[in-house]
Structure 1
Amino acid sequence: MSMSRARYLVLALLPALLLLPAVVPAADSAGPPEPPRTISVDEQTGATLPLESRFLDEDGASVTIGSLIDKPTILLPIYFTCPNSCSTNLANLAIAMDRMKLQAGRDYRAIALSFDDEETPETARSAKANYLNLLDDDFPADQWRFLTGSRTAIDAVLDSVGFSYKKLADGTFIHPSMLVVLADSGMIIKYVYGTFIPGDIEIALTEAQRGRPATSIKRFLDYCFNYDPTATNAVFETVKLLILGTFILGLAFFFIRILRKKRG
């Protein structure tokens, strides 16, 4: 190898080595890999929910979902014991409703629907108490219902909105993060993604008041599921060692060439 090529090797590898501290943490913070393609949202705008599907509310009362949809309604599929984005989604919805000009009870209502059939009204009641704390004291609590139900009822509603999910061995779920806005007839009007910006929800609710299905704004579709970051770390530690070893070998060869040239 010539001196120029050795120098080029060192200069080429040096930036990679300097970037290692940034590359490895970035891999850790990148989060979990892509979920299976079967876990997604297949929008069903214009379709109607199975209004006869029966659930238990946070007080243990048996209700049909149709009996709750008496005005434009926000439907948020989550599960209350979720360790990841569900709590963020519930909080974002609470903050959005607190900031909207439309008033709960007069202009709309909201439903948080658990898709974990092992959750109970007690779980729902505890979750509701937590998220009502993010709203003004005058928010009508009966206008945000927290529902649990059987697998049959859950799947009937979520299949109708094109929402798919999967339960994992550890009891958590892989699922998309989104909400659906419904007309008072139970018709699906619009899907809202992202962080639930108040303006996006208000526009969807206004369209629901008119009963007109609308095209959803395609924002980034987030997913919620647990993952093991240690496996990812192992891969990037290996890459780091390979680059470091190559750099050291190149640097050693470069200085050996310099010493030989001086002795010659």
Structure 2
Amino acid sequence: MAVAAAALLPGPAVARLTQAELARVALAPPPDARAPLDLVFTDAGEGRSLTLAEAAGGRPVLLLPVDYTCGNVCDPMLSLSAAALVATGLAEGREYGFVLVGLDPRDDAAAARRMLSEALGDAPSPARPRALVGSAEAVAALTRALGYGFVPDLGTDSIAHPAAAILLTPEGRVAHTLSPLALNGRDLRLALVEAGEGRTGTLSDRLALLCYGFDAAKGVYTPLVRRILAVAGAATVLGIALLVILLARAGRARRA
């Protein structure tokens, strides 16, 4: 996982967004947050217009806002979310829905299909999401209702946005906010079952893990994957230290 994440890091870049702009990037759903299910998007796979209600189909939905041309962690967010959904053992299309919404209205259906192909391959998948593209107005209405703050960086054609997924009840209420990079089948299954029953969990006040190419104030790349690498590195060092201690104790025990 850490090695794959490292490959996502692009080269040096010039700072664009300020710290003040990046401070607006977070997922902070208001009380009783609800997705407007009457919003209309275009299904990138079928090429037809549909509402969020039609995409949800009366099921709990794992909603993943993404940048279809992202070069950072959107692809692994998608692939890890799909793997966690498969691990739940639940049936996609009957017991849950999986929906992507493009944050950049300039990205068309072809960009959405290309991301699906790169992240999940072209073979049929038991947890292949419905990828939606929409107007700037539809995207703004949805993200505003969910408390999902993102900031476009037009200079680099990228978007600073939370690396987060949103679990909705069949009625569109926010049941849970989740990190797609830390999902597991057991916990996600429980969350989906609860959401399907209309129950909502305790929401975190603010989820602010960023999917963005670099620290815009310093011009240095520090995306979420670097945090993952740092944690993985610390765990490796701790494991080695523990192994050394155990070997030393075993050696003293044999000499005794």
For the residue of structure 2 that corresponds to 1:107, the secondary structure is coil
Larger Rg: 1
For the residue of structure 2 that corresponds to 1:154, the secondary structure is helix
Cα offset, 1:228, TM superposition: 7.0
Cα offset, 1:104, TM superposition: 0.8
Cα offset, 1:219, TM superposition: 9.7
For the residue of structure 2 that corresponds to 1:89, the secondary structure is helix
Structure with the largest fraction of helix:
1
Tell me how large the CA RMSD over aligned residues is: 2.9
- In the alignment, structure 1 segments of 5+ residues that lack a partner are 1-27, 234-264
> Which of 125, 131, 148 is the equivalent residue of 1:163?
148
Distance in 2 separating the partners of 1:173 and 1:154: 13
Tell me: CA distance 1:194–1:89, structure 2 relative to 1, closer, same or farther (3 Å). closer
Tell me: CA distance 1:99–1:109, structure 2 relative to 1, closer, same or farther (3 Å). same
- In the alignment, structure 2 segments of 5+ residues that lack a partner are 1-11, 13-17, 222-256
Letter in 2 for 1:212: R
2:91 — aligned with what? 103
Letter in 1 for 2:113: R
**Identity of paired residues, percent?**
25
Q: Which moved more, 1:100-109 or 1:122-131?
A: 122-131
Kept after mapping to 1: 8 A contact 2:28/2:207:
no
Distance in 2 separating the partners of 1:112 and 1:200: 21
1:13 — aligned with what? none
> Which of 137, 158, 164 is the equivalent residue of 1:152?
137
Matches within 5 A, 1:36-115: 36-44=22-30, 46-58=32-44, 59-70=46-57, 71-115=59-103
Distance in 2 separating the partners of 1:129 and 1:194: 19
TM-score (norm 2): 0.69
Residues 1:178 and 2:154 aligned together: no
What's the CA shift string for 1:98-122, capped at 9, x where partnerless? 2222221221010011110001111
For the residue of structure 2 that corresponds to 1:195, the secondary structure is helix
Distance in 1 separating the partners of 2:219 and 2:53: 46
Cα offset, 1:132, TM superposition: 3.7
TM-score (norm 1): 0.67
Distance in 2 separating the partners of 1:126 and 1:138: 15
Distance in 2 separating the partners of 1:216 and 1:134: 35
Distance in 1 separating the partners of 2:27 and 2:66: 14
Kept after mapping to 2: 8 A contact 1:182/1:208:
yes
Kept after mapping to 2: 8 A contact 1:94/1:131:
no
Tell me: CA distance 1:140–1:200, structure 2 relative to 1, closer, same or farther (3 Å). closer
